[in-house]
Amino acid sequence: MTEQQALFKYCVRLGDNALIQSYRLAEWCSNAPMLEEDLALTNMALDMTGRAQMLLQYAGSISGEGQTSDDLAYRRSEPEYRNNLISELPDNDFAFVMVKQMFTSTFEYFLYLALMESSDKTLAAIAAKSVKEARYHMAHTSDWVVRLGDGTGESNRRAQEAVNALWPYTGELFETDDVDRLLQEKGVAANLEQIQIWWRQYVIETIPAAKLELPSDDYQHTGGRIGVHTEYLGHILSEMQYLQRAYPDAKW
């Protein structure tokens, strides 16, 4: 694997995480419990669509095959996606989306903070923008996790269920593979072991502040790095890609 191939894979991974999260967050449009949260979740979706576009565009520009961001978003099949499994899980509950986004926004905040120092100038510039958004998302969702966990018996129960269900999907965020190792040597990629330390520290403080507990069982799911997804990603893609699949090159 050349450095260029590794960088392509790295950008696709970051871009796919943004894209799939964006899709799930957009599903909340008109479904949140209050208008402000409709705005919040869809604004977060918009931030992530923009981030996905930049990352996939950059990926396409270095692949040597000249794909556009749309080609990468709409013309790949499920096993070619490299997003973490947590981003594709369906949000059936408001507590679930808030806990999920707290976990992932905190990860993204520390990840993009580290990537601001990347030796790859484009990646560093994308990180400089993304870190501000991630910090904002992290503050917003952390507030909600505390509000729900330290709220009523019902909101606490649902937040705790979300923590229990989501925890086994958090380990994957920090998995390091050959792509990471090659790019870390070049000063391009972030050190995920270090990020995990910062992430854990934040989560370990936030969860008890919300009167919630982390599960003692540390079993972790895996698969996103090699394109083995949950059953949910295929359903997402069948809807998200429908137009470009049915009418290739359709334009507004």
Binding site for another protein (CB under 8 A): 36, 39-40, 43-44, 46-51, 53-54, 121-122, 124-126, 128-130, 132-133, 135-136, 139-140
Question: CB within 8 A of 87, min separation 6: which ones?
Answer: 17, 20, 21, 24, 104
Q: How far is the CB of 12 from another protein (least distance, A)?
A: 17
Q: How far is the CB of 134 from another protein (least distance, A)?
A: 11
H or E element that contains 164: helix 153-166
Minimum CB distance to another protein smaller for 122 or for 155: 122
- Residue 61 has φ and ψ, to the nearest 5°, of -75, -20
Minimum CB distance to another protein smaller for 85 or for 97: 97
Q: How far is the CB of 164 from another protein (least distance, A)?
A: 27
Q: Can you state the percent helix, strand and coil of the chain, rounding each to 5?
A: 70, 0, 30
Minimum CB distance to another protein smaller for 48 or for 114: 48
Minimum CB distance to another protein smaller for 5 or for 61: 61
The closest alpha carbon to 23, from 237, 242, 252, 248, belongs to 237
The closest alpha carbon to 52, from 68, 73, 29, 26, belongs to 73
Q: How far is the CB of 243 from another protein (least distance, A)?
A: 18
